[in-house]
Structures are given as C-alpha cells and as structure tokens.
Amino acid sequence: TSFGFKEVNEEEKSQLVGNVFTKVASNYDIMNDLMSGGLHRLWKERLVSKLSPFPGMKHLDVAGGTGDVAFRILETIYSVHRRAVDDTIEDDLHDTQIYVCDINPNMLNVGRKRAQQRGLGDLGSLVWVEGDAERLTFEDNSMDGYTIAFGIRNVTHIEKVLAEAYRVLKRGGRFLCLELSHVDTPVFKQLYDYYSFSVIPVLGELVAGDRGSYQYLVESVRRFPPQEVFASMIADAGFQKVEYENLVGGVVAIHSGLKV
C-alpha cells in the first residue's frame, strides 16, 4: 500500500485476468470472419435452415461458444413467427428455450454480452450453461434438437459426445454437426493446403498474437475423421437417416442424424 503504487485487491485482480480471457474470446469472432472470409456466417445459416427451428422448441447448442448458432436459431424462430399475433404462437415463442453449452465460461460471457447487443438478451429464451459435451447435465429425451458447430473436432472422445447427443434428444429429434472437413478435388486441395498451412498461422500470429493455437487448429482438421467415417460413427451412436452435405468442396461438412 505504500511506495505510491496502487494495490490491486483480489477482486480487481480476477477482473484483470478475466479481461485477458475476454480478449481472447472476442478475438475469436474476428478470427472466424478473417479465416473463412465471412463464409462461416453462411455455413451457420445453412446449419440452422436444416434444423427448421420452431416456436416452443427446446434446443441444445453444444460448444456454443459466443452464441452464433443459438442467435440464428432464435432469430429464425422470431422472424418467421413474430408477425403471427395469434396468442398460442405468442405463448410458444416465449416457451422457446435455446441452451448454449460450452466448457469455457469466457466464451459464454462474451456470448451473453453479444446477446444483449443483438436485443436477444431479455427474451428469456437463451440459457447459458457451462458444461462438457462428453458429460451433459441435461435429462434423457429432453431436447428437440442438438447442434454442434466447429466443436466436435476438439473434444477428447467423439464417441462420448455422440452418445450424449443421442441420450438427451427426444425421439424425432435431430442431431446436426457443422465441422471443418476434408477436401477431395486435387487442385482445390493444393490451394486449400497452402491456405491452411501458410496463411492461417500467419493470420493467427498477426491478429490474435498466437501462431501456435492456429497451427494446432489446422492440424486438428487433418486428424478429424473424413466425412464417410464420421457418418458411420454417428450411425454407431444409434442415429438413423445419417447423411452429410459438403460445402465449398468439403472445406466444411454438415452431418445430420435422426433419433427415432
């Protein structure tokens, strides 16, 4: 307290540390736009349109991070149904629950702030839950839908995540996964490899000051099972009607499955 230095108490200190992580988490959104040239927005739109969200649904977005997928689901439900002034739909709208589950509380905190900025914070439909995709705290057969976007690649046991997805979904509930995947076309593959191995780490260094993490990102994409293999893992977890759609020649793929 002497020497003219301002003493930093415990609370201020944890705030400072928190700010550092918040910075990482907000960089995250900028990096997404830069690395994908804004395309991740279209991919997420596509994911949500495949889900066909409806008023009153209970949906779980796992590895939901800063809320991108959840916001789009909620906005779709509201934009399609807002003008229907019918009271029953009005009630359903308010019953809608979108759970955003993520293992990293800093990502969720950025998400909460973004929800406020987008005017979605006070609707009462978004529920932010800190949790592990491999051990969900939600009840069996409780969800109408399950999404995971750019999340399953980084988990330790993909099979556990799929088993949990199956467990929490109701019968008739849909599993949807958006993930960076594998490009097959030879010339395009060369371009994509160059972009991944040379451009991405440099972008990571310049924008996030973190080359290593982005190098890791590229390597984790290589290690992720190819489309067909991942599809059979989804089927092994019990899902029916398993299919996938490649976007941009397989740079990303959307896999889906139905619990019947």
Annotated binding site for S-adenosyl-L-methionine: 66, 102, 132-133
Binding flag, residue 155, ligand SAM (CB under 6 A): yes
β-strand pairing of 169-180 with 143-149: parallel
Q: Is 111 exposed, middle or buried (0-12, 13-18, 19+ CB in 10 A)?
A: buried
Binding flag, residue 164, ligand SAM (CB under 6 A): no
242: Cβ–Cβ under 8 A, 6 or more apart, which residues? 231, 232, 234, 235, 255, 256, 257
Q: Are 73 and 58 in contact (CB under 8 A)?
A: no
Binding flag, residue 133, ligand SAM (CB under 6 A): yes
111: Cβ–Cβ under 8 A, 6 or more apart, which residues? 64, 65, 66, 67, 70, 100, 102, 128
- Please count the residues of the chain: 260
Cβ-based nearer residue to ligand SAM, 93 or 101: 101
Closest-by-Cβ residue to ligand SAM is: 65
Of 99, 150, 175, 192, which lies in the binding site for ligand SAM, with binding defined by CB under 6 A? 150
> Binders of ligand SAM: how many residues, by CB under 6 A?
18
For residues 37 to 66, the per-residue mask of contacts with ligand SAM, x marking binding by CB under 6 A and - elsewhere, is -------------------------xxxx-
For residues 67 to 106, the per-residue mask of contacts with ligand SAM, x marking binding by CB under 6 A and - elsewhere, is -xx--------------------------------xxx--
124 Rama sector, left if φ>0, alpha if ψ -120 to 50, beta otherwise: left
Binding flag, residue 204, ligand SAM (CB under 6 A): no
Cβ-based nearer residue to ligand SAM, 92 or 134: 134
Binding flag, residue 145, ligand SAM (CB under 6 A): no
Q: Which two tokens stand for residue 22?
A: 């918040």
Q: Is the dihedral of CA 74, 76, 82, 87 positive or negative?
A: negative
Three-state DSSP at 174 gives: strand
Binding flag, residue 111, ligand SAM (CB under 6 A): no
Cβ-based nearer residue to ligand SAM, 65 or 201: 65
Binding flag, residue 151, ligand SAM (CB under 6 A): yes
Query: Would you tell me which residues interact with ligand SAM (CB under 6 A)?
Result: 62-65, 68-69, 102-104, 107, 132-134, 149-151, 154-155
